[in-house]
Structure 1
Amino acid sequence: MLPLLLVLFVTAPLIELYLLIKIGAIIGPLTIILLELATAALGGYLLQRQGVSVLMRVQRLMAQGQMPALELLDGALLLIGGVALLLPGLITDVLGMILLIPPLRRLLIRRVVAQMTNTLSGMTVRHTHTRQFIETDYRREPD
């Protein structure tokens, strides 16, 4: 797991930087900077609007005594999308925009839940409890 994270945190920014330089050379550095600022602003706006909506759904379900599991996943993906848009880079912007589109986010949630359900349904859980009791007399010794 650690090598994968290390590769991700080292190679992803390098790829982002490479793309920013290459595309900036084509469309101009000022255009790429304005594009990054625009996606960050749009992401912040969408995150705020959709975040409030998700929060209201969570509160409504909790008031009805229901567990808002899917809404919490929706909120988590929404947060990841918003953070991705705030990070500089074109790949993170695309990922962030995808996660801020509600139908695509719901599709991803359905796939994740289906995958988790399939994984869990194939598991066998065995519980073995071994308990040992030691009988003794207890008494406190004076100091």
Structure 2
Amino acid sequence: MSQPLKIALILAFAALPLLEIGLLIRLGQLIGIWWLAAIIIGTVILGTFVIRRVGMSVFERALSRLGSDREGFSPLFDGFLQVLAGLLLIFPGVISDIFGLILLVPQVRLLVIRTGLLKLVSLFHYQAEVSRETFRAAPDVPPAEAEGVIIEGEYERVSERPLRAGRAVQPRRSRS
């Protein structure tokens, strides 16, 4: 991810709460404070219902499918997206409610899983390749001459001390 894109994402996440507050104020002026409060409470109840309905059942189904040779990641990501939709509905705000309601549509979740899963796999593959290259030592530097922190100390292997006769395990030492 490029540096300008990272900065744009940080600014977008910083501006999101301000947009949410502005839209809530404007919506409250248009429809009235009591209707706005009813909508907010309704979306919180809907979000709580979604999270309770999904719960651990999706994760249990995904684990059972992983055990049997069927595809197990799709139901896992579908459950994750349903929980995310519930969380977005719980947060007060117009934008988060819209995204939460959109994620409740099964076809949208399927589209997100198909496109997002491929990007996620390619991202992890790229990260794995980068991390492999990071930990490889340079071929021209011998391991003994490599720079690094050397910590010297003494140790005693507790498991190699002889046991007292008649006892299988030594008692713990008191730390007082």
> Normalising by structure 1, what TM-score?
0.72
Cross-structure match for 2:114: 110
* Aligned partner of 2:94 among 90, 93, 96: 90
User: Which segment is superposed worse, 106-115 or 29-38?
Assistant: 106-115
Whole-angstrom distance in 1 between the partners of 2:28 and 2:46: 20
Higher RCO (CA 8 Å, separation ≥ 6 residues): 1
Structure number with larger C-alpha Rg:
2
* Deviations 1:81-116 (CA, angstroms, capped at 9, x unpaired): 121111110110011111222221111111113445
1:45 pairs with 2:45 = no
- The residue number in structure 2 matching 1:28 is 32
1:54 maps to 58
Q: For 1:112-131, what aligned pairs fall within 5 Å after superposition?
A: 112-116=116-120, 130=139
Higher helix proportion, which one?
A: 1
Contact 2:50 2:83 in 1 (8 A): no
Which amino acid counterpart does residue 92 of structure 2 have in structure 1? P
Partner SS, residue 17 of structure 1:
helix
Structure 2 vs 1, CA of residues 133 and 29 (structure 1 numbering), >3 Å: closer, same or farther? closer
Percent same amino acid at aligned positions? 30
Aligned pair in 2 of structure 1 residues 118, 23: CA closer, same or farther (>3 Å)?
same
The gaps in structure 1 that reach 5 residues or longer are 135-143
Instruction: Report the Cα offset of residue 67 of structure 1.
Output: 6.3
Tell me the number of residue pairs that the alignment of Structure 1 and Structure 2 aligns: 133
Gaps of 5+ in 2: 1-5, 145-176
RMSD: 3.2
Under a length normalisation based on structure 2, what TM-score does the superposition of the two structures give? 0.61
Measure the CA separation in 1 of the matches of 2:124 and 2:45. 40
